[in-house]
Amino acid sequence: MTINQKLATIQTKFKSKKSRFNSFGKYYFRSAEDILEAIKPYLLEIGVAVTINEELIATEPMPIIKTTAKLIDDKGMSIKAVAIVGVDLNQKGMQTPQQFGTASSYAKKYALGNLLLIDDTQDSDATNDHGKKKFVAPKEIKPTLNDVQKAIDYIKAGGKINAIKAKYELTKDQVDKLNTI
């Protein structure tokens, strides 16, 4: 069997579950780890190996990662697919290693998806409500207030409790404490 035939066999038989759940968007998705786990049975059966390599190809104006997924057969023949992603260093709530890790995971998933022809769209028959549901905007999720003293200092400096309520989720005890100032 040629490398092209081996890849075609995998592409036509391959199934990878969407085992991860995005609670904000309310949908399931697959990760690079899910794809790698699902391809393992084909490695010995068909006589191939899969490798993933990453390379930092730019640093300005933002870091760019190039990820290559490669299928290699027992004769040394290979086919590869590439994904290129930027690293968002301005992403709030993440440290730099997390920002690179997120971009790396995303690039691996898409390089593997490109190689294995994985369609990452949802099944429209399963998700289509044929216009019966009305759009409901997602409820804004506010962070919880962790530093009550900072809020107290803000109010003492002339700030308004309503501004704090608009920005943070407050417990009843926190509201009561702030109202006494």
pLDDT at residue 100 above 90? Answer: yes
Distance CA 179, CA 93 (A): 29
The average pLDDT across 92-116 equals 92
Residue 48 reports pLDDT greater than 80: yes
Instruction: Give the span between the Cα atoms of 163 and 166, in whole angstroms.
Output: 5
Name residue 56's beta-bridge partners. Answer: 65
User: Cα(58)–Cα(87) distance, rounded to whole angstroms?
Assistant: 10
Going by pLDDT thresholds of 50, 70 and 90, the confidence category of residue 143 is confident
Other Cβ atoms within 10 Å of 116 Cβ, number: 20
- Give the tens place of pLDDT for each residue, 6-30: 999 999 988 888 888 888 888 888 8
Structural contact between residues 62 and 55, judged by C-beta atoms closer than 8 angstroms: no
For the segment 109-131, the average pLDDT, to the nearest whole number, is 68
Segment 150-169 mean pLDDT: 86
Confidence band for 135, pLDDT divided at 50, 70 and 90: low
The answer, yes or no, to whether residue 121 has pLDDT greater than 60, is: no
Candidate from 85-89, 114-118, 130-134 with smallest mean pLDDT: 130-134
What distance, in Å, lies between the first and last C-alpha atoms of the chain? 78
Residue 153 pLDDT grade (very low, low, confident, very high; cuts 50, 70, 90): confident
Instruction: Give me the helices (H) in 76-171, please.
Output: 96-116, 124-127, 148-156, 161-167
